[in-house]
Structure 1
């Protein structure tokens, strides 16, 4: 397989505020939820698309996928009972460009999506975004006490390469805990 062409600077700039379609279906086992798409992801149109993002390798190493998927294969998650969405739909260069108001509004929209599609688990990838979106300032990584409808909520660390708090093996360990809870 030939590696995809990287977006140009102009394509990255043009990706600001774009959205990436959800990978979603009713009754999934896990709906993974990023904070919002980065510019690289929006430019290529596939979730967790930036090289260096650890989502895809971690998903495989934790046992969610039978092999390492490329972001362009994201639709192959659906038959595995997995999906992807975001708290905030619009792309930005960094999550810190989002306002708390935007994250709270995104949390309300996410909760409505979760009620409509009813996955077994919602896995929010980013403790800070979860705390803000759902007014849970003391939330910690792992299973949360409050479900959304019948959906249990699990918070995982953000898999961005910029998240230095979790090294690869530690990230796999916390993702695997969710996998084992299934």
Structure 2
């Protein structure tokens, strides 16, 4: 690949980031909810929900590990990529593969829509109960593997709302050469 993607880590509010696409840790209904999902819908305004309703009418929602894209509405980002992370059920039910699919499918949608920059929250580590250390490992490994396959995405930002996720991701990112 001709370019080298930069990976950043920030602690803050994903709805304020100046990137081409932000990833929403959505639920399968795409109708908004708590945590990151609720924050993105509130900050982005009604156009995001309108587009989500159209997607639901066409395809019946979004399955775990899959991703769909909408406008960014009132967000600084042009797009919101909604992905449904897995609920942690002990690790023997394909949760790590499903989480990796969230990152891969989100990055693929971003690249397909000519996004040069994308921001990810900590998918599934809140109410879905995915262990934060396992989730960080999956996120970093999946993102670093994917970005080696594309010239489109120039910057990936991991956005942590809490200090614990920030520290865990910092440790995993310290061990990679793409920074």
Interval containing the TM-score (normalised by the shorter chain): 0.3 to 0.5
TM-score, with structure 1 as normaliser: 0.41
Of structures 1 and 2, the one with the larger relative CO (CA 8 A, separation 6+) is 2
Q: Whose strand proportion is higher, 1 or 2?
A: 2
TM-score, with structure 2 as normaliser: 0.42
